[in-house]
Structure 1
Amino acid sequence: MRLQNKNVVITGGASGIGLASVIRCLEEGANVVLSDLAGSEGAARAAELDGKHGGRCLFKACDVTDTAQVDRLFEETVNELGSVDAVFSNAGIGGVAPSHKVSDEEFLRIIDINLNGVFRVARAALRIMYGQGSGSIVNCASILGKFGQSNTAAYSAAKGGVVNLTRALALEAAPKGVRVNAIGPGYIDTPLIADLDKDLMNALIAMHPLGRLGRAEEVANGFLFLASDESSFVTGTTLMIDGGFTAGKS
């Protein structure tokens, strides 16, 4: 049990990579706060998992664009569980459109959720972890945090920001016993891309040298490693879980 009795907060936990990460953490003995938007399937998912895992999963609604909600998420977690040992800042949205057709509102919304939201979560978590003298924060970046792609200006900008934000936070947090890392998934077989047409899906598959899309559980395993003591000498890095997508790029 790699996370036995650890308390873990996962944002964007109602589906996809977030939900897979919730499940893996529960399997490894953690108490997990599954957080997602009010009105999402998060409450139902948490209730179901709570029943399967001996009362170790609870749901807390949180919109990461709202500082008050983020701060309350962590305050309530500490009040109820006593500590925050690991965080997966996973809440995010996609966005595909030619840049000349993207409005200010669309661009800023993607940045606010995918980058500013990651900062809000990290800030709230660090306040607690500094007091503890320990903790692990993992931010969800992307292959597009390392390399740009057409029609993804806002998303690529946000995820590139997450990669460098992770480095900066890691340097600040290291002297206080807290590690900060990121994960860079390739294209993952989740509901986010389930409706793509066959030709586009095949094109995405072809981008990955391993010849397939990733699975949400594979990304969750990366989070599990970075959250656990197995990665005790790892901070400031972005772990690419991308089927070789970035291996041939410089």
Structure 2
Amino acid sequence: MANLLRGTALITGAASGIGHHTALSFAKYGKSKLALADMNPSALTKSAKAIRAQYPSLQIVELTMDVRQTDEVKAGFAATVAQFGRLDVAVNNAGIRGPAARTDETDEAEWAETIDIDLAGVWRCQREALRVMVGQEDLGPREGRGRIINTASMLGLSAPPRGLVHTPYTAAKHGVMGLTKADAVIYGEQGIRINAICPGWTETPLIRDPKLPLLTREIERGAIPRIAHVDEVADAMVFLASPLSSFMQGASLLVDGGFTLT
């Protein structure tokens, strides 16, 4: 299992939460070269140091990247290819929760920021990943020219429960699903796989908010009535990045403990 993954990966939002744990899981299952990107350089360095402590032979490039800034996104992907020669997996994971307010009470700037990071930011990263991957050698049906994994959400497939207001976030994550599916059709024949992961309630900084008193009740409604450990989502990322998912394209991999079943 340690050799399940090969080659290089770039992960955005890598300073904490799902991004950090995805990097750990990628290293655990065989990735030898990681480009870790985040807009917070000090937190990113702390994350990379913790990963190196567990995997000393891992090659890591730290990239200060704000996914709202096209020049920074382009520079990050270019630096990855310059350092490692190839990009096998791109995990477009950077995101924010956005305002927890009704639409009639939401400021336009808050709406725009959420869409800019959670949807347009994914698009900017996907565009650069595709520009790299279309020019790479096709390594066959199981590996292809590369894989893109977009972090959506169970709220990219459904509405929030009543009482939990996340309209900008939900709209953005539905957009991520549309982006994933549309480009999956276009680039599949070129050996590029594009899929999305749709986590449910997960123990990350985004979910630790005292203003969400209804969250405990909603978590208990799931078929598995608990919050997900971050590494459970990260391990699902490993599956999408590996040859085990080689015939999945444009898919939404739900990792929500069966919450949407209820």
- TM above 0.5: yes
SS of the equivalent of 1:148 reads coil
> After TM superposition, what 4+ stretches of structure 1 lie above 4 angstroms from structure 2?
none
* Residue 109 (structure 1) aligns with: 113
- How many residue pairs match? The answer is 247
1:158 aligns with 2:172: yes
1:27 aligns with 2:22: no
SS of the equivalent of 2:135 reads helix
> Whole-Å Cα distance in 2 between the matches of residues 184 and 45 of structure 1?
23
**Deviation, structure 1 residue 198:** 8.8
2:134 to 123, 127, 130: 130
Contact 1:21 1:217 in 2 (8 A): yes
Contact 1:167 1:237 in 2 (8 A): yes
Question: Using a 3 Å threshold, how does the CA distance of structure 1 residues 106 and 197 change in structure 2: closer, same or farther?
Answer: closer
User: Does 28-37 or 62-71 show the bigger shift?
Assistant: 28-37
> Whole-Å Cα distance in 1 between the matches of residues 207 and 216 of structure 2?
12
Taking the TM superposition and a 5 Å limit, the aligned residue runs for 1:164-179 are 164-179=178-193
Residues 7-40 of structure 1 show CA distances to partners (whole Å, capped at 9, x for unaligned) of 0000001111111101000111211111101444
> Whole-Å Cα distance in 2 between the matches of residues 205 and 245 of structure 1?
8
> Whole-Å Cα distance in 2 between the matches of residues 221 and 37 of structure 1?
24
* Residue 7 (structure 1) aligns with: 8
**Deviation, structure 1 residue 199:** 4.7
**Deviation, structure 1 residue 195:** 3.9
* Residue 44 (structure 2) aligns with: 42
> Whole-Å Cα distance in 2 between the matches of residues 111 and 183 of structure 1?
18
User: Does 111-120 or 53-62 show the bigger shift?
Assistant: 53-62
> Whole-Å Cα distance in 2 between the matches of residues 38 and 24 of structure 1?
21
1:145 aligns with 2:156: yes
5+ residue gaps, structure 1: none
One-letter identity of the residue aligned with 2:67: V
> Whole-Å Cα distance in 1 between the matches of residues 92 and 197 of structure 2?
10
* Residue 119 (structure 1) aligns with: 123
Question: Using a 3 Å threshold, how does the CA distance of structure 1 residues 198 and 92 change in structure 2: closer, same or farther?
Answer: closer
**Deviation, structure 1 residue 196:** 3.0
> Whole-Å Cα distance in 1 between the matches of residues 50 and 169 of structure 2?
32
One-letter identity of the residue aligned with 1:162: V
Contact 1:184 1:238 in 2 (8 A): yes
Taking the TM superposition and a 5 Å limit, the aligned residue runs for 1:55-134 are 55-95=58-98, 96-132=100-136, 133=138, 134=145
Residues 133-192 of structure 1 show CA distances to partners (whole Å, capped at 9, x for unaligned) of 310000000111111225211111000000111000101110110000000100101222
> Whole-Å Cα distance in 1 between the matches of residues 236 and 224 of structure 2?
17
SS of the equivalent of 1:41 reads helix
> Whole-Å Cα distance in 1 between the matches of residues 209 and 113 of structure 2?
23
User: Between the two proteins, what is the percent identity of the paired residues?
Assistant: 38
Q: Structure 1-normalised TM-score?
A: 0.94
* Aligned Cα root-mean-square deviation (Å): 1.5
**Deviation, structure 1 residue 105:** 0.4
SS of the equivalent of 1:187 reads coil
SS of the equivalent of 2:203 reads coil
5+ residue gaps, structure 2: 139-144
User: Does 229-238 or 41-50 show the bigger shift?
Assistant: 41-50
Residues 30-73 of structure 1 show CA distances to partners (whole Å, capped at 9, x for unaligned) of 11111101444111221332343214223111000011111111
SS of the equivalent of 2:223 reads coil
One-letter identity of the residue aligned with 1:146: L
Contact 1:144 1:159 in 2 (8 A): yes
1:241 to 255, 259, 262: 255
